[in-house]
Structure 1
């Protein structure tokens, strides 16, 4: 049965607000937490970008919900050996409730040390080798690794959970979905695309979880909600590879000028119509997803959680998930 969690947006909210949201999510009946891992927000209107590993440590002390990064890039900004140590400590703090979502990243966050931003093919190679390094270190054995992209010498993790944190691999196209099936313990993708789920399953992902997420904007005034999303999260409507290659929030702000309020109104659930919220979430269930994380854009967090506790989560959990739709 599909599990429903809450998506914490590190780009939009202060650390204290994220902790409050985690508490409210557990009280409302959400079954897990996802949290973004960014160095920069997508634009200055969002205005935040807390360090995810500090946040996970703090979250582990205020909630018993499992926590998943959606997603961390383990290749450039932070070496995979250090990511392995961070994930192991997070798994210990959460009592085994940490899942490590990993992806090939965006220039927005990874260019900050003046490294070149590789082509997509190279980024996937780097991700695969980073996963290899993380898995080696997660054994607790002393590791020396000399690969194409990374070198590790005489490294050993001493603080380890009983079981390594599962590694969920993110992807938005067939090649990444195939990689996730081959090397991952699960698959992360943000669109309810049954064909990508099928690619993942056929590449070795049978029986492994598929994880997705979406943002909504609850408000009693639908037009006000559309305006809020257009101000804070227009970047989610940018096409193609733009989100992966634009290097600064200022560049995103320029590109966001292409996104209209009509586009937002068509693509994002805005307002307080319960049926629209239900339909947006269950689209993932029909596509074969095992976990879906919903994030509230903008203010009215308490009202959002009340709405989901009373009107949405009971309907989602009372309805048996439909069979995944076959891909064409």
Structure 2
């Protein structure tokens, strides 16, 4: 059975609302919840960016069974990997084994704020590889000293380790990243329903650390549910028009103002062609089905608009989940 997740989007809701949304998503029957880890929203219209890890701790206590995950954290610029290793271990204890650490190379939007510049994609991939090795070493419970190309670690140890180790999911998008990070990852994070990506990941999965057979491939799609399609399209255009710029652009722009400028010529009809908008649940099912057909096991939905979440839970979440389970098994 394909697992359906809910996205706790820190860019569009404050910390208390995110905790409340997490509880409601669990009650509605979502299988897992993913949380973005941002310092800034993509666009000022979204209006939020609380600290994800504080919110995750609260959510771990407020929920009881739903799986939790970062989607995704960059462990190399804004955070040192030793800090990520400690945070992830602590959240896993609070969540009683329900947490997965999702990792990626990051976006300039969130990482440039510490003033260390924005490296090339090749350097960021090098940094991620080194960070993953450090996190794995620390999660073993050993005392770790490391002198690497990008990171130094001096006599570090995680003193509170969870009984259930923290799985690592890594965002991958092409041959180069799969060959490099597939051997290091428990799970695959993908942003497109690409069957070749999933097949290649299963072929190289886990070799670097002797991991068990491939677990999950996790995708994500934005939706703009509303009983008025025009309202849904307008909201998606206002808050998510950056989505169509593509990863090479989205990873490089440093500010919400930059995203506003880059997306100023994106039309409402462009957004409506790429994001399911309105009351039609079948359109959402078809978008999710594309991921299942590509071999993904999990898909997280993003309901656009922080102030629409309650209506989404009240009116759409349960019938949508029922439709997804009927169609996708």
In the alignment of these two chains, the number of paired residues is: 321
* Greater mean deviation of Cα atoms: 305-314 or 183-192: 305-314
Cα distance, 1:120–1:95 mapped onto 2, change above 3 Å:
same
Answer yes or no: is 1:83 the counterpart of 2:56: no
Match of residue 52 from structure 1: 52
1:73 maps to 74
| 1:62 Cα offset (Å) | 1.2
Would you say 1:227 and 2:234 are equivalent positions?
A: yes
Q: Which runs of 5+ in 1 are unaligned?
A: 322-328
For 1:220, what is the secondary structure of its paired residue? coil
Contact 1:168 1:180 in 2 (8 A): no
Moved more, 88-97 or 297-306: 297-306
- Look up the SS of the partner of 1:115 in the other structure: coil
Instruction: Provide closer, same or farther for how the CA distance between residues 240 and 213 of structure 1 changes in structure 2, counting only shifts above 3 A.
Output: closer
1:194-250 superposed Cα distances (whole Å, 9 cap, x missing partner): 121122122226623100111101111111111101111111111351101111111
Instruction: Indicate the larger mover: 249-258 or 80-89.
Output: 249-258
* Cα gap change, 1:240 to 1:21, in 2 (>3 Å): closer
Partner of 1:264: 271
Question: How far is 1:17 from its partner?
Answer: 1.4
Task: Find 1:274's aligned residue among 278, 281, 294.
Answer: 281
Contact persistence 1:169–1:188 (CA under 8 A): yes
Alignment counterpart, residue 287 of structure 1, candidates 276, 282, 294 = 294
Larger displacement relative to structure 2 (307-316 or 34-43): 307-316
Partner of 2:10: 10
Partner in structure 2 of residue 127 of structure 1: 128
SS in 1 for 2:205: helix
Could you say which residue in structure 2 is the equivalent of 1:146?
147
Partner of 2:320: 312
Q: Secondary structure at the match of 1:76?
A: coil
Kept in 2, the 8 Å contact 1:190–1:213? The answer is yes
TM-score normalised over the length of structure 2: 0.94
For 2:136 and 2:297, the matched residues in 1 are separated by: 24
* 8 Å CA contact retained: 2:10, 2:18: yes
- TM-score, length basis structure 1: 0.94
CA contact 1:171–1:188 (8 Å) conserved in 2: yes
1:190 lines up with 2:191 in the alignment: yes
Offset of 1:258 from its aligned partner? 2.7
Structure 1 position 308, deviation (Å): 4.0
Which of 212, 216, 224 aligns to 2:219? It is 212
Q: How does 1:133-172 map to 2 (within 5 A)?
A: 133-172=134-173
Contact map agreement 2:144 2:155 (CA 8 A) in 1: yes
Q: Is the 8 A contact 1:100 1:168 kept in 2?
A: yes
Give 3-state SS (helix, strand or coil) of 2:84's partner. Answer: helix
Residue 300 of structure 1 deviates from its aligned partner by 2.7
User: What root-mean-square deviation, in Å, do the aligned CA atoms of Structure 1 and Structure 2 show?
Assistant: 1.4
Three-state SS of the structure 1 residue aligned to 2:219 is: strand
Residue-by-residue CA offset, 1:266-315 (whole Å, 9 max, x unaligned): 00000011211111112111111111111211133223224444422123
Secondary structure of 2:79 counterpart: coil
How many angstroms apart in 1 are the aligned matches of 2:266 and 2:325? 34
Q: Match of 1:245, SS?
A: coil
Q: By how many angstroms is 1:118 displaced?
A: 1.1
Q: Is the 8 A contact 1:180 1:186 kept in 2?
A: no
d(CA) in 1 for partners of 2:220 and 2:79? 24
SS at match of 1:315: helix
| Separation (CA, whole Å) in 2 of partners of 1:259 and 1:309 | 29
Cα deviation digits, residues 58-106 of structure 1 (max 9, x gap):
1011112110100000001010000000000010000011000000001
Contact in 2 for aligned 1:4/1:32 (Cα 8 Å): yes
